[in-house]
Amino acid sequence: MSESNSRPSILVNGQISEDAWRSVDDESPVPSEGDVIVSLARWQRDRPELGDRLGRTAVRLDPEHSGRELADAFDALDMIVVDFPKFTDGRGYTIARRLREQLGWRKALRAQGDVLPDQVFFMQRCGFDVLALRADKSLETAQRALSAFSVSYQGAADDPRPLYRRRPEGVVRSARAS
């Protein structure tokens, strides 16, 4: 995985925000300050020194990971990143739901890679709150797509209750995108 370009902006909880994070590959030195993303392999190798950094640290998972690899590292991390090398590879959705619903990850969860506006509604439902769209894609279109549906049948990371457990109270999802 190459270093990602510095990108002007990302969506954080539906808001267009500046991206403070930079990826560091497995061979380059990790600066002590600043917000960095490292691979799972790097994290497993250099965990002690990464744990002493002043800046924030995130670990990137790839589709073949499950999320369980980081279950004992939640306290030491500020963000988990799930990479989507191809938008047609949906394994990252399962990783996200497992992190959120089964392992109890509460801090930031970021989708990056081949992240397109038409995927972000599903990503948000699976628990991603940081969306680093592919550089050529419109953040405004993605922002609109976050509210494509006002009601969903299934439970997911955003609300574990399926519609049949929400019915009596009404079904309007909180307007997290606005």
Partner 1 sequence: MYRYDEHDATIIRERVAQFHDQVARRLSGEISENEFKPLRLQNGLYMQLHAYMLRVAVPYGWLSSAQLHRLAHVARTWDKGYGHLSTRQNVQYNWPALEDVPKILAALAEVEMHAVQTSGNCIRNTTSDHFAGVAREELEDPRPYCELIRQWSTFHPEFAALPRKFKIAVTGSPRDRAAVQIHDIGIRIVENEAGERGFEILVGGGLGRTPRIARSIRDFLPKADLLSYLEAILRVYNEQGRRDNKYKARIKILVDALGVDAFREAVEAEWAEIKDGAMKLTDEELARVAKHFEPPAYESLEGGDALLAGKKLSPNRRFAAWLESNVEPHKVPGYAAVVITVKSPGRPPGDITADHMDAVAELAERFGFGEIVITHRQNLCIPDVRIDQLEALWAELDALALGEANYFRATDIIACPGLDYCSLANARSIPVAQRLTERLHKLERLEGVGELTINISGCINACGHHHVGNIGVLGIDKQGEEFYQLMLGGSSAEDASLGKILGPAIPSDEIVDAVDRVLDAYLSLRNDGERFLDCVRRVGTRSFKERVYV
Does 102 interact with partner 1 (rule: CB under 8 A)?
yes
Does 153 interact with partner 1 (rule: CB under 8 A)?
yes
Does 40 interact with partner 1 (rule: CB under 8 A)?
no
Q: Residues near 111 by Cβ (< 8 Å), separated by ≥ 6?
A: 81, 82, 84, 92, 96, 120, 123, 128, 130, 131, 132
- The least CB distance from residue 86 to partner 1, in Å, is 9
- The least CB distance from residue 55 to partner 1, in Å, is 32
- The least CB distance from residue 99 to partner 1, in Å, is 12
Q: Please state the separation of Cα 132 from the chain's center in Å.
A: 8
- The least CB distance from residue 4 to partner 1, in Å, is 20
Does 176 interact with partner 1 (rule: CB under 8 A)?
no
Does 125 interact with partner 1 (rule: CB under 8 A)?
yes
**Stretch in the footprint of partner 1 (CB under 8 A) among 3-11, 23-31, 43-51, 151-159:** 151-159
Bridge-based pairing state of the strands 130-132 and 9-12: antiparallel
Does 171 interact with partner 1 (rule: CB under 8 A)?
yes
- The least CB distance from residue 66 to partner 1, in Å, is 7
Q: Which of 149, 110, 132, 103 is nearest to 18 (CA)?
A: 132
Amino acid type, 43: W
CA distance 139 to 131: 9
Residue 40 in contact with residue 62, Cβ under 8 Å?
A: yes
Residue 56 in contact with residue 78, Cβ under 8 Å?
A: yes
**Applying CB under 8 A, which residues contact partner 1?**
66, 87-91, 93-94, 97, 102, 116, 118-119, 121-123, 125-126, 138, 141, 144-145, 148-156, 160-165, 171
